[in-house]
Amino acid sequence: MNLKFYSQTPSKLSFLIALIFWAGTALGSDQNVPERIKAIIGASKSGSFSVYGEPVYCAEAVREVYSNAPYPIWNQRRAEEFLSYVALSHLDGLIPTDYHLNSLTKAINPWPYEEERLARIEIALTDAFLLFTSHLLHGKLNPETLHPIWDISLADGNPKALLDYYRSGAPFEEILRAATPKKAEYRFLKMELYYWSQLQDQAWEIISIPESFKPGASHNQIIKIRRRVAIISGLPIAEFTLGANHSFYDSTLVNGVRKIQELHGLNPDGVIGPKTMRALNLTPAERVKMIKINLERWRWLERNLGDYYIHVNIAAYRLDLIDGGNKISTHRVIAGKPARQTPVFSSTMQYLVINPTWTVPPTILSKDVIPGIKKDPNYLSKKGIELYNSRGERVLPEFVDWTSPEAKRLIYRQPAGPDNALGDVKFMFPNKYSIYLHDTPSRSLFTQEDRALSSGCIRVQYPLKLAEILLDSENYSLPRLQEMVSERITRTIRLDRKPKVHLTYLTVEGKSDTEVYFLNDVYERDAAVWRGLQSTPPLL
């Protein structure tokens, strides 16, 4: 879908008047406007000030702009062009009135010539420009104030530099392209936002069913489900109703339901049960809200994820390996449970370890292992965990006082083997959270829909296949890696080509214009982002 933005072109008369006005500027007819700008800005020596009864959100940046830049930055044509784009900022999930839209629309119609009004228009437009481009570049909210374990550097980009570029004559459409995330996923979310926004005002019945429907079932509610599947899929209603027994759960509808289930993180078994009905009943307004939240999350991410990278979406329980824009491999993953959430950050993978040992980290030691030992004296032997002191000497469990602080100073290590918590391989990338990717002996858990089950690290399904692709060498084919595992010798293998690793949390994920996933907010983070997006912008 192409979204075109239009800006108004001033009439010949208004253009001539503006030309005369700017000519008058050179002759000194509005020579006091810069002084009026300084007076308004200088009314508060520090902190924010206001125009039109609204805060100047980028007060310090506005001060810098007008201490260095010659007046004027704005004229009628630029103001109208810019405000036409601001009016469409809702297509990015933003709120147009955050950018003085109502006040400025009134102020410039008609375009004034009084010095005081021109000064206020200058300041308000400059503030709106800086705030709007900052929100596109970096997001409206600071993710670290919402989520302490969101640790990704903001995208490069300086709103003041964009303002200089605009002042040099660049059209605002070019500014918009420079400020907006360029990933296709962001564009897919915008398209999905547009689609569901058109449906917000339509009646949306909450469909109820008396029991789960399996393929081959018949019920009058299936008629409603047919229409709902078509709407969610963005397909013509006739595709699910033409020539069909509308109350019969036939193969065409089964395929449609399976796709809906997949796009909502559910097991695509074709059985219409409570979880599937929740997906089908999710209203357009709820979907719009979820999309806007995740457009904001995309604005928090690095703009250049790299040419070669691993993307783990925690909310999707999925890992994608991307090379040159192409998905090379996809794996199910198990992420941190809500009480021990996997952090969001980026790093670069350096090496992997075949047959890794596992040293129990402090959190698991305090919350799981020592309490387990106190309940069961055989806990360590059952888990295959050995004890060592700081000198690397073995310590026998029967000589440890488990109530003393000394117990936490010991090293708890599980040797390599089939029962090791890390499985056959781990993938290492430096980070302050001690997070890594690894195998697991509990592989049956990958069949579960909800896979927030770990203590923070990411467990990967088919990790040796991922290792084979990353190593990309005849010396490390899958059969050779399996042979190395069987030898039970711990080996560290450094990667010649090191992928970036991005751990993210996206509850709506656009994979194509027809494939947008609406996922469970397992860490319950969406509500805080939504409250922030609906609130007055924070001062910058």
Question: Which amino acids are annotated catalytic?
Answer: 438, 457
- Listing DSSP states for 400-466 in one string gives --TTSTHHHHSEEEE-SSTT-TTTTEEEE---TT---EE--S-GGGGGSS--EEESSSEEESSHHHH
For 6, the token pair is 């239009």
Question: In degrees rounded to 5, what are phi and psi of residue 520?
Answer: -70, 135
- Listing DSSP states for 157-186 in one string gives --HHHHHHHHHTT--HHHHHHHHS---HHH
Question: In degrees rounded to 5, what are phi and psi of residue 405?
Answer: -60, -25
Closest CA to 485 of 425, 526, 439, 432: 425
Query: Residue 450 corresponds to which amino acid?
Result: D
Give the contacts of 533 (CB within 8 A, at least 6 positions apart).
93, 95, 140, 141, 292, 293, 296
In residues, how long is the chain? 540
Q: State how far the alpha carbon of 449 is from the alpha carbons of 105, 215, 422, 444, 446, in Å.
A: 50, 21, 21, 12, 8
CA atoms within 13 A on the CB side of 507: 20
- β-bridge pairing 150-151 and 344-348: parallel
For 246, the token pair is 């509308």
Output 283-287 pairs: Cβ under 8 A, ≥24 positions apart: 283/204, 284/196, 284/197, 284/199, 284/200, 284/202, 284/204, 285/200, 287/192, 287/196, 287/508, 287/518
The Cα–Cα gap between 62 and 49 comes to 11
Query: Residue 348 corresponds to which amino acid?
Result: T
The Cα–Cα gap between 473 and 466 comes to 13
